[in-house]
């Protein structure tokens, strides 16, 4: 059985590929807020890998792909844990998510999307930032992160390359 009954919404927004399921949504005027919950909770400490003891929850906000022309914000209720390993330097940690790096503001798929818009579609940083409802600096960081991940995923793409500069310029120019 589907955990929330929002199979239609999960299918339209493709939240399953994020490891999330939709629990609610709100029209916030300039953006759409989608409440989501992780399908599975990773409870291992990022420092020592020991399982943690559930402590409380925090709300994490992530920028996701625009939906029907509006910027989208994911609001997640994320579990926090206390590390049970007395020898570990980490006391409290948040559950990691498969869809975003710890502490990141963008989902992985938004980072890939920004790189595709800038590098393939020749969209400007300004237009990309406006579509996401974020600043140009965050768009730049997302695109660089996605490019770096592509290189790490298959370093053979750049076999023989001795150095590279990846830079997207601030307003309407990008390289
Ligand atoms: Zn630990």
Ramachandran angles phi, psi of 66, nearest 5°: -60, 145
Determine the distance separating the centroid of ligand 1 and the alpha carbon of 12, expressed in angstroms: 38
Determine the distance separating the centroid of ligand 1 and the alpha carbon of 94, expressed in angstroms: 12
Q: What is the DSSP string of 28-89?
A: -SSSEEEEEEESS---B-TTT-PBEEEEEEEEEEEEEEEETTEEEEEEEEEEEEEE--TT-S
3-class SS at 133? coil
Confidence category of residue 5, pLDDT binned at 50, 70, 90: low
Structure tokens of 103? 């502490």
Q: Against a cut of 0.85, is the pTM above it?
A: no
Determine the distance separating the centroid of ligand 1 and the alpha carbon of 131, expressed in angstroms: 39
Determine the distance separating the centroid of ligand 1 and the alpha carbon of 164, expressed in angstroms: 37
Query: CB–CB of 63/132 below 8 Å?
Result: yes
Check residue 20 and report its DSSP letter: E
Task: Say what the pLDDT of residue 160 is.
Answer: 74
The ranges assigned to domains in the chain are 1-98, 106-175
Q: What is the DSSP string of 161-173?
A: ---------SSS-
Instruction: Give the tens place of pLDDT for each residue, 116-129.
Output: 999 889 999 999 99
Residue 154 confidence (pLDDT) above 80: no
Determine the distance separating the centroid of ligand 1 and the alpha carbon of 96, expressed in angstroms: 13
Residue 175 confidence (pLDDT) above 70: no
Determine the distance separating the centroid of ligand 1 and the alpha carbon of 53, expressed in angstroms: 11
On the 0-12 / 13-18 / 19+ scale of CB atoms within 10 A, 128 is buried
Query: CB–CB of 97/103 below 8 Å?
Result: no
Output 3 or 129, whichever has higher pLDDT.
Answer: 129
Distance CA 5, CA 11 (A): 11
Determine the distance separating the centroid of ligand 1 and the alpha carbon of 67, expressed in angstroms: 38
Task: Say what the pLDDT of residue 174 is.
Answer: 44
State what percent of residues in the chain have pLDDT above 90: 62
């Amino acid at each position: 059985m589907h955990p929330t009954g929002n199979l239609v919404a999960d299918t339209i927004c493709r939240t399953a590929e994020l490891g999330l399921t939709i629990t609610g949504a709100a029209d916030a005027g300039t953006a759409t807020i989608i409440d989501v919950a992780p399908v599975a909770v990773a409870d291992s400490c990022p420092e020592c890998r020991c399982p943690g003891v559930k402590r409380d929850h925090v709300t994490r906000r992530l920028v996701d792909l625009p939906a029907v022309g509006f910027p989208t914000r994911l609001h997640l209720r994320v579990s926090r844990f206390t590390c049970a390993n007395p020898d570990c330097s980490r006391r409290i940690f948040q559950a990691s998510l498969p869809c975003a790096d710890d502490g990141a503001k963008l989902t992985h798929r938004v980072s890939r999307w920004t790189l595709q818009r800038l590098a393939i579609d020749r969209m400007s940083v300004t237009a990309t930032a406006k579509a996401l409802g974020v600043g140009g600096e965050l768009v730049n960081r997302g695109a660089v992160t996605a490019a770096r991940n592509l290189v790490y995923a298959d370093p053979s793409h750049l076999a023989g390359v001795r150095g590279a500069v990846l830079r997207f310029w601030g307003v309407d120019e990008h390289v």
